Structures are given as C-alpha cells and as structure tokens.
Amino acid sequence: MPAPATARKTAIHADLLDFTGDPGLDALHSPAVRWRPDHWLLIDEQGRILAVQPQAPGDDFEQHEHRGRLLMPGFIDTHVHCPQIDVIGSWGTQLLDWLETYTFPAEAAHADPVVAAAASALFLDALLAHGSTAAVVFPTVHRGSVEALFTAAQARGMRVISGKVLMDRHAPAALRDDVAGAERDCRALIARWHGQGRLAYAVTPRFAATSSPEQLAMAGRLLAEHPGLYLQTHVAENPAEVAWVAQLFPEARSYLDVYARHGLLTERAVFAHGIWLDDTDRSHLHDAGAQIAFCPSSNLFLGSGLFGWRAAREAGVAVSLASDVGGGTSLSMLRTMAEGYKVQALAGTRLTAWALLHAATRGAAQALRLGHEIGTLEAGLMADLCLWDWAVGPVATRRHALARELHEQVFAWVTLGDERNLLECWVGGQRRHARHSP
C-alpha cells in the first residue's frame, strides 16, 4: 500500500545532518558526515524527499521554519519488545530470571486482542515520541498480537518488521505453541502482512532454548520458501543462557551454530546482543551478511556483559543500535547511544557521535537492506524525519553554547539529550508527533 499523499508539498528549514557512508568508529572528521546547515528539505505529495537546497522554495510548498534546529532521518530501533513496555524498569534479576519473573507474565496478557491492540498503539506512539520511525519488533506468541501491531503500524505509515514469537518449550503453558500450529499462524500472517505497505514479516524464534529442533527447522523452511523474510532472535546475551543452549544442543559448535544448522543464518537475520561470540562466529555472521543489534542499555541493566563492537567491525559484521525495551530502560535512541558510548569505553574503544548516529540511521537501514527507503536525507527516500532542539535545560544549553566545532556540538547533544529534545517526528511526510509546549 503506498504512503498516504500529503495535502501539498512540504518544506522544512533547519540544519540537516545525515551520512553518505560509514564514518568508522573513532574518526572525528569523516567525509561520510553530511552537514548542511540552514537548508530546506523538500517533500513531495507522496511523502518522499524531493530535494535539499539552500534557498527557500516557492509558494506551492507548505513551509515549516525551524532555523537553528537539527533535522535528521528518523532513528531505526533494530530490537525492541512491544509488550515489555509494561515491565520496563523492573528490579533485580539477570536474563533468565527476568524472563520468568517479569516478561512472560506481561506477554501472557496479550492473548486478549483488546489488550494487544491498546498496547500496540501505545508502543508505536511511544516510539515516535522518542524519535524512532522504524523498528524491528518482538510482539508475543499470540497471532493476535502480530495482527494488532501490524494494524497499528499500517495506520501510522511506519516501517515495522515483526512476526509471531515461536516458543514450543521451556516457557509457561500460556505462552507455548506447537510446531504445526505455529507454522499455520506464520503462513497466514506472511500471506496477510508481508510486503503490505511498509510492513515486513520476521520469523521470530525467541531464542534457541525456547524452540525445539523441530520448530527451528520449521522456521528455516519458512525462510527458504520466502527469500524476502527477515529473521529476528537473540544470541549469546548472557553466560548462563549460553551454557544452557550448549546443554540443549550439544552437537552445535556454538550458540550461533544452532541457528546456522537450521537455516536461520541469513543476510536478513537480526541477532540481538551477540556479546559472547568468538572469532569463528563473527566470521560466519560476516559471510552470511547478518547483523548484530547492539543493546547497551539492556546489557548494562541485566548485567549481561560488554559487547565487542571493534571485534565485530574488524570481522566485517554490521552492527546496529537497539533499545531492547523492556530489558533496556528507555526507548530513546539518544539515551541508548550514550550507554553505548560507555560500554565501548569500558571495552577500550572511544566511539564518535558519528559512529553512534550512523548505527541508528544509515547503518541500520543498510544492514536491513532498506537503504533505498530510509536512513538518509537523499532525494527519493521516504520522508521519515525528526526535528530536534540542540539543548534542553540550563546545563545542556550552556554546553551547547560553548561547543567549539561540529562533533563537539553533536556529541554533547547525543550524550545530554533524550526525548525531551524532540520537537516533531514525521513519517512518510506526515507529522505523527509534535511536542506540546508546557
């Protein structure tokens, strides 16, 4: 379904920032950074970027004046759980206990279609209010939760990748499926939603421990039969989880190898976390063209470990950024970036603002094979955009005023900013969120 036509052509005047390539991890001055201050971004009636120019357009454009504000592509959150909004900020356990104590009870409520519909609407509106215009999303095991999420995403014109969670063992009875029933549900959902408008289906085993070998094999068959499908799951997040998977699949060389053996290691695979991988795993990820969704806030909150971004990069593995709410503590990708900087500093790498922003815009789009649609401010791409204030509050305002050059200015915004800095969020040329003045 095409994006809804805008009432007329639109023009936004602001300072434009995006990327034309990969800026690397630590280069302060990269030719891949595209900075166009005091420019106009033009949007056509179909919600696509028409052009960027320094001069104001004609009267046939509806003009929005935001001189001195920052305009960027909308953020892409590559791993987040819709139902876990209800357990964000829950105290005190590591991954496996956290699932049992908080996550599974919250997800069980989504068997009710009314709950699933309300939660999906709240979740997507919250993403937009935090500056994320696209996401790779875990719903629940219930077919209705996928229907609700896709319905809400379609109403907002959002690029959402999702699919029914697969769990046929080691989960509460209310959240377990079976291979035959799960396959029927997946096939029906693929036929109904995959490729409809800006929606795409992701085969979604929760993680290796909660799917039997038979269910993982079924997931592999779906991917083989439908080459455009995505795969989303978790890998090597927590040492106890890694040890458990090794016990369940003793024939596999590693946790990642469990997925590879079942045909789940593909170029459209999004593996969340990937903390406890080795060089062989990273080589296989590179060869397959798969990506790792780095979830720093969640990794710190659950005490899972420090992801090795430099090692992944040296192996040629694409890395994107993800909030992983509710293990993560905010849907804000700015807060996620600030946590990512700290994690990598502990691991011995000082990331630039460019590396962080690229991983949540152009880098994520490229890894998802969506660079033709989102991630930059190129003509022809969808006008998924966010307008930001550089600073909110006296401390950030003072810091912004004292910044000596562009990277210093942007890095201060990344590390001091959050959703309070967001003025407007546009999806397909439609303004979907606007901050209310106090």
- pLDDT at res. 324: 96
Cα 207 to its chain centre, rounded Å, is: 18
Kindly calculate the radius of gyration of the chain based on its CA atoms and give it in whole angstroms.
21
- pLDDT at res. 3: 46
Q: What angle do CA 372, 376, 382 make, to 5 degrees?
A: 60
Scanning 262-405, the segments in alpha helix (DSSP H) are 279-288, 296-301, 309-314, 333-346, 353-359, 362-367, 394-402
Beta strand 199-205 pairing with 385-388: unpaired
Rounded Cα–Cα distance for residues 322 and 171 (Å):
25
Task: Read off the pTM.
Answer: 0.96
Q: In 3D, which of 396, 412, 395, 394 has the Cα closest to residue 404?
A: 412
Q: How many C-beta atoms surround the C-beta of residue 279 within 10 A?
A: 10
Are 416 and 407 within 8 A, CB to CB? no
Q: In 3D, which of 50, 28, 170, 72 has the Cα closest to residue 425?
A: 72
Q: Could you list the pLDDT tens digit for every one of the 438 residues in the chain? A: 444 554 689 999 999 999 999 999 999 999 999 999 999 999 999 999 999 999 999 999 999 999 999 999 999 999 999 998 888 888 877 777 877 888 888 898 899 999 999 999 999 999 999 999 999 999 999 999 999 999 999 999 999 999 999 999 999 999 999 999 999 999 999 999 999 999 999 999 999 999 999 999 999 999 999 989 999 999 999 999 999 999 999 999 999 999 999 999 999 999 999 999 999 999 999 999 999 999 999 999 999 999 999 999 999 999 999 999 989 999 999 999 999 999 999 989 999 999 999 999 999 999 999 999 999 999 999 999 999 999 999 999 999 999 999 999 999 999 999 999 999 999 999 999 999 754
Backbone phi and psi for residue 382, each to the nearest 5 degrees, phi listed first: -65, 140
- pLDDT at res. 86: 87
- pLDDT at res. 437: 53
- pLDDT at res. 376: 98
- pLDDT at res. 94: 75
